[in-house]
Amino acid sequence: MGTLRSAWKEAAWAFGLSRLLLLLVTYVGGVLLRPKNMASIPCVQNGLRFCLLGWYRWDAEAFGRIAHVGYRSIADVAFFPLWPWLIRLGAAVLGNHFPLSFLLSELLLSNLFFFGALILLYILARESLACDPLQARKLLWYLTFYAYAIFFFAGYSESLFLFLTLAIFLLLQGAALWRWWLAGLLGCAAALTRSTAIVLMVPFLFFSVERFWRAPSLSADPGATALEAVPSWRLWLRRLLAILPAFLIPATVAAYMLYLGWRFGDPFVYSRMERTVWGRQFEWPWVAFGPALGALLSGPLHTEMAARNLMDLLFTLLPLGILVVGWRQLSAAYRFFSLALVLFALCFPLTSGETLASQPRYLMMAFPLFLVLAHWSKRFPSFDLVYGGFCAPLFAFNALLFTLHYWVA
């Protein structure tokens, strides 16, 4: 209970101050600055509630549209259905007025799930990763004020996916089978959020080896090994029942594909839409770096595309560098989950233009990189100032850009 109480307290501070900053940026930007490609300032012309509409852009707009009318456009099937379903439920409670009820539903749900994710992350750090209270607190602040953490405020599915991921990691810390099957059900929910959920099979694999193959049994005799404590057939059954929930994740993706096959006549239509409409298809993970770097070195630097390429390149290489340097500081499940997530993201870049677009947002889901930063903060006392001075201004700046209708990630 003490850890849970501390988790609520620390999460509330980081969450509350970051949301206060984002609302302040939204208000100031919405009142003083004209959004891109608009002739007037909506907040000044129509009232303060229109400041919030600055967050109804890009994927948030797509999710709101799907929540309102369903998959009327075949291009929208690239967005998996769980997040729009939740938005629709929230909008119904808020009066079902389009688009304002749907925007408010997105924002409220996104922030609620992020607050829950912060609580889970603190508990995971304290109870399973041997972080002291100061490290666990810093971990929350590093994540909350990361340069691209604005997507935990916007109506994107990042907050939900992070919440489900952390809940799965926390459940897999124990050996009780009910925890593993509950983790499998949460994996189903994650798989209905995005195809990236397939990488959540990695912690199931590594934790099952740790809990059910290497660990001694939970018998009355603490010195007994698993083979000494129970018959071998029961051991094998327990191992099988522990790993089976992992396969609920690809099964859920397959179920979504079956629905698409029934609805649109092609179970792979979501992949086809990713390629033909959204410009993403499979490539080797290093392919996207060449065009992004080449555009910076050979093209003019005073263009909007050059600035976006620079930020994409910087905040793709930065997480990669942190994970490489901090590789030995993470246990196997956290290492290879991060590796799988990074490879999955980099294998589906944009095929032209800003090839690393959205990668900073995708790689932010590799939460173990923030664990590495928390470990570094203990070794380097001035690390907080360096990180805060670098990321916090970019956090506010990215929020301002997003609300003014500029592409961020």
Lowest mean pLDDT among 227-241, 269-283, 320-334: 227-241
Burial class (CB in 10 A: 0-12, 13-18, 19+), 75: middle
157 and 181 co-located in one domain: no
User: In this model, does residue 117 exceed pLDDT 70?
Assistant: yes
**Average of pLDDT values for 186-193?**
98
d(CA 293, CA 306): 10
* pLDDT, position 302: 86
Residue 360, preceding bond cis, omega within 30 degrees?
no
Question: Which of 115, 134, 166 lies at the terminal end of a domain, its last residue?
Answer: 166
Confidence class of residue 213 from pLDDT cuts 50, 70 and 90? confident
Domain span at 38: 1-166
In a domain, 180, yes or no: yes
Please name the residues in contact with 364: beta carbons below 8 A apart, sequence gap of 6 or more. 146, 148, 149, 151, 158, 319
* pLDDT, position 222: 45
Contact 355, 349 (CB under 8 A): yes
pLDDT digits (tens, 9 = 90+) for 52-96: 889 999 999 999 999 999 999 999 999 999 999 999 999 999 999
Question: Which of 250, 278, 306 lies at the terminal end of a domain, its last residue?
Answer: 278
57 and 148 co-located in one domain: yes
44 and 134 co-located in one domain: yes
In a domain, 406, yes or no: no
**More confident call, 155 vs 40:** 155
Lowest mean pLDDT among 34-43, 102-111, 248-257, 381-390: 34-43
In a domain, 399, yes or no: no
Question: Which of 232, 263, 278 lies at the terminal end of a domain, its last residue?
Answer: 278
pLDDT digits (tens, 9 = 90+) for 362-390: 999 999 999 999 999 999 989 999 999 99
**More confident call, 173 vs 223:** 173
**Average of pLDDT values for 8-18?**
98
**Average of pLDDT values for 192-205?**
98
147 and 264 co-located in one domain: no
User: In this model, does residue 223 exceed pLDDT 70?
Assistant: no
24 and 123 co-located in one domain: yes
In a domain, 136, yes or no: yes
123 and 209 co-located in one domain: no
Q: Is the pTM of this model over 0.85?
A: yes
Helix (H, G, I), strand (E, B) or coil at 260: helix
User: In this model, does residue 221 exceed pLDDT 90?
Assistant: no
Lowest mean pLDDT among 149-158, 179-188, 226-235, 390-399: 226-235
d(CA 207, CA 299): 47
Q: In sequence order, which ranges of 265-303 are alpha helices (DSSP H)?
A: 269-276, 289-298
HSE-up of 150 (CA within 13 Å, CB side)?
29
**Average of pLDDT values for 181-193?**
99
Confidence class of residue 169 from pLDDT cuts 50, 70 and 90? very high
d(CA 360, CA 342): 10
In a domain, 336, yes or no: no
How much of the chain, in percent, has pLDDT values that exceed 90? 83
In a domain, 390, yes or no: no
pLDDT digits (tens, 9 = 90+) for 302-360: 889 999 999 999 999 999 999 999 999 999 999 999 999 999 999 999 988 899 999 99
How much of the chain, in percent, has pLDDT values that exceed 70? 93
Q: For 66-134, give the DSSP string.
A: HHHH-S-SGGGGGS-SHHHHHHHHHHHHTT--TTHHHHHHHHHHHHHHHHHHHHHHHHHHHHTS---HH
What tokens were used for 321?
């560098």
127 and 34 co-located in one domain: yes
7 and 105 co-located in one domain: yes
Helix (H, G, I), strand (E, B) or coil at 352: coil
* pLDDT, position 47: 65
* pLDDT, position 121: 99
Separation in Å, CA 283 to CA 194, 275, 279, 355: 19, 11, 12, 11
The count of domains in the chain is 2
35 and 139 co-located in one domain: yes
Contact 249, 191 (CB under 8 A): yes
141 and 56 co-located in one domain: yes
* pLDDT, position 226: 45
**More confident call, 185 vs 214:** 185
Number of H helices, E strands in the chain: 20, 0
195 and 131 co-located in one domain: no
**Average of pLDDT values for 268-291?**
95
In a domain, 183, yes or no: yes
In a domain, 260, yes or no: yes
The mean pLDDT of the chain is: 93
Contact 257, 270 (CB under 8 A): yes
**Average of pLDDT values for 116-121?**
99
What tokens were used for 350?
């944009």
Confidence class of residue 230 from pLDDT cuts 50, 70 and 90? low
For 235, other C-beta atoms within 10 Å of its C-beta total 16
* pLDDT, position 234: 85
**More confident call, 214 vs 346:** 346
